Amino acid sequence: MNERLHIPQTRSTPEISADWDAGVVSMSGDSYPENSFEFFTSTIDWIKQYLKQEQRPLRLELRLIYLNTSSVKAMMDIFEMLEEAHRRGRDVSVDWLYDPENERVQMLAEEFREDCSFPFNITAEAKQA
């Protein structure tokens, strides 16, 4: 199993890194890849494997800004996987961090959170100098 996953950021895709030991997946940037379904496959597989093989907690750290429609769908798929794991008693959580100057992102994160019963925190994050 490729325990480490790192996809560097491009103009149209977010940076994604997954740390098996820490149990953290982080995603940041804009996401409008030409083929979203393929783009998110490795991440979705990683999460699936982690939830299957490990019993430790899983945390998603998101700093996503713009998502196109198929990226929205991919994120919903991921949140549904977490929701299912949560229902089975797993410790899963999402931290969605946003730039306080962009309140729209907060509103969007809240939309995503709507059907999730696991801990889903939406927090303003001061810009790094």
69: contact with other proteins by CB under 8 A? yes
60: contact with other proteins by CB under 8 A? no
55: contact with other proteins by CB under 8 A? no
12: contact with other proteins by CB under 8 A? no
Measured from the CB of residue 102, what is the shortest distance to other proteins in angstroms?
9
107: contact with other proteins by CB under 8 A? yes
Cα 62 from Cα 56, distance rounded (Å):
19
Q: Which stretch binds other proteins (CB under 8 A): 33-41, 55-63, 83-91, 108-116?
A: 108-116
Measured from the CB of residue 3, what is the shortest distance to other proteins in angstroms?
31
* CA dist list (Å): 37 to 66, 81, 127: 16, 16, 31
Listing DSSP states for 64-127 in one string gives EEEE-HHHHHHHHHHHHHHHHHHHTT--EEEEEEE-TT-HHHHHHHHHHHTT--S-EEEEE-PP
Interface contacts to other proteins, rule CB under 8 A: 66-69, 72-73, 76, 104, 107-108, 111-112, 114-115
